[in-house]
Structure formats: C-alpha cells, structure tokens
C-alpha cells in the first residue's frame, strides 16, 4: 500500500485479524478456550484468524473477552467541527 493513501477495507480487515490473534496469544488463550469463553464457534474463530471474515456480533463478543471492546466504541465518533478558514481559529 502506498503510504499516502488511506487504508482499504481489506487492509483494515487484515490488521484486525492480526491484532485479535496477537491479543489472544498475549492473554494465553487457545482458540478453543477463546471460542468457549466468547460463545463464538471455533469454526468462526478459525476463519477470522485465517482470512479475517467474521460477523459483527462475533467480533464484539471476541473483543469483550479479549478486553478491547472499549476501543471499538470509538469507531465513527463525531469529529469536532473544523474551522472553515484561518479566521475561524481565532
């Protein structure tokens, strides 16, 4: 990816896949343990860790167990309105 372009949806999907897998390992969970604790099927978890595909509900369940659900609350938050001109900065 060219560094001046914003990340694509597939880039974000890959980043999430990697971050969730890394977090699972940091917390010392096997895939089976995480599936059981979260209520997400083992097949869904394996698919997510392999190709990044997962339902939003399952992603949120995993984030809760992996103690990173709060970070997802910040997605699409309203941005502060930016001034339309330099005069608006005063």
Range of the domain at 49: 9-66
Q: Residue 81 pLDDT more than 80?
A: no
Q: CA-CA distance, 4 to 86, in Å (whole number)?
A: 25
The string over 49-81, giving b where at least 16 C-beta atoms fall within 10 Å of a residue's C-beta and e elsewhere, is beebebeeebbebbbebbeeeeeeeeeeeeeee
2-57 residue pLDDT tens: 667 888 999 999 999 999 999 999 999 999 999 999 999 999 999 999 999 999 99
Q: CA-CA distance, 75 to 43, in Å (whole number)?
A: 27
Residue 31: which CATH number?
A: 1.10.260
Structurally, the chain folds into a number of domains equal to 1
Q: Is residue 24 part of a domain?
A: yes
């Amino acid at each position: 990816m060219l560094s001046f372009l914003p990340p694509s949806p597939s880039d974000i999907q890959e980043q999430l896949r990697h971050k969730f897998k890394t977090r699972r390992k940091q917390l010392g969970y096997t895939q089976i343990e995480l599936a059981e604790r979260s209520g997400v099927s083992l097949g869904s978890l394996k698919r997510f860790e392999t190709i990044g595909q997962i339902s939003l509900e399952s992603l949120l369940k995993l984030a809760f167990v992996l103690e990173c659900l709060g970070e997802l609350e910040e997605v699409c938050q309203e941005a502060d309105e930016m001034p339309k001109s330099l005069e608006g900065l005063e």
